[in-house]
Amino acid sequence: MARTVQPICARHSVPFIVNDYPRVAAKVNADGIHLGQEDGDLEEARRQAGNCKLAGRSTHSIQQAENALAEGADYIGFGPLHATATKPGRPAIGLEDIAEVRHRLSIPVFCIGGINIQNLAEVVSAGAENVVIVSDLLRSQDIPSYIQRARKILRGAS
């Protein structure tokens, strides 16, 4: 699958990040590797991935976010903000710490988890600058229209 997706991303100038599998990232010349909290050492994953340009870490608290910065993460995922079917059983962290984590970190913070078109403005108002929408987008009957609506909300919130 990575061999199929990587050239598509390259053609559209979108970084291709491989989740959890640094050796796969190396084989397809990925732009980056992403690890969860219990997926090992970030620097070792970066080496296994062929010294990718980007290395990211999933975080669920301000302390984990600061730890990711200290270990050399280029960006973090912060969440899940809300309960989400993509991470069943993972407790939601809410919106309260978004502004604080962005203030404390000098790297991009990507808020993730249960974000949808209905709560996007609230997430951005809480301090999110970068958001990840997965399930709601994939369930949309008209993805281009969904993206246009999300962009409008994001522009209106800034």
Residue extents of the structural domains in the chain: 1-59, 77-158
User: So what's the pLDDT on residue 157?
Assistant: 59
Residue range 95-118: mean pLDDT, rounded: 96
Q: Which residues pair with 34 in a beta bridge?
A: 19, 56
User: So what's the pLDDT on residue 76?
Assistant: 98
Q: Place 51 in a pLDDT band, splitting at 50, 70 and 90.
A: confident
Long-range residue pairs from 14-17, CB within 8 A, at least 24 positions apart, any chain? 15/53, 15/54, 17/54, 17/56
The pTM score is 0.92
User: So what's the pLDDT on residue 87?
Assistant: 83
User: So what's the pLDDT on residue 89?
Assistant: 86
pLDDT of 158 over the 60 cut:
no
pLDDT of 45 over the 90 cut:
yes
33/111 Cα distance (integer angstroms): 17
**So what's the architecture of 77-158 in CATH?**
Alpha-Beta Barrel (3.20)
pLDDT of 107 over the 70 cut:
yes
High-pLDDT (> 70) share of the chain, %? 99
Q: Which residues contact 148 (CB under 8 A, 6 or more apart)?
A: none
Residue range 65-93: mean pLDDT, rounded: 94
Token pair 């980056």 is at which residue? 32
User: So what's the pLDDT on residue 85?
Assistant: 83
Q: Tell me the per-residue pLDDT of 14-26, one tens digit each, with 9 for 90 and over.
A: 999 999 999 999 9
79 torsion bin: left (phi>0), alpha (psi -120 to 50), beta (else): left
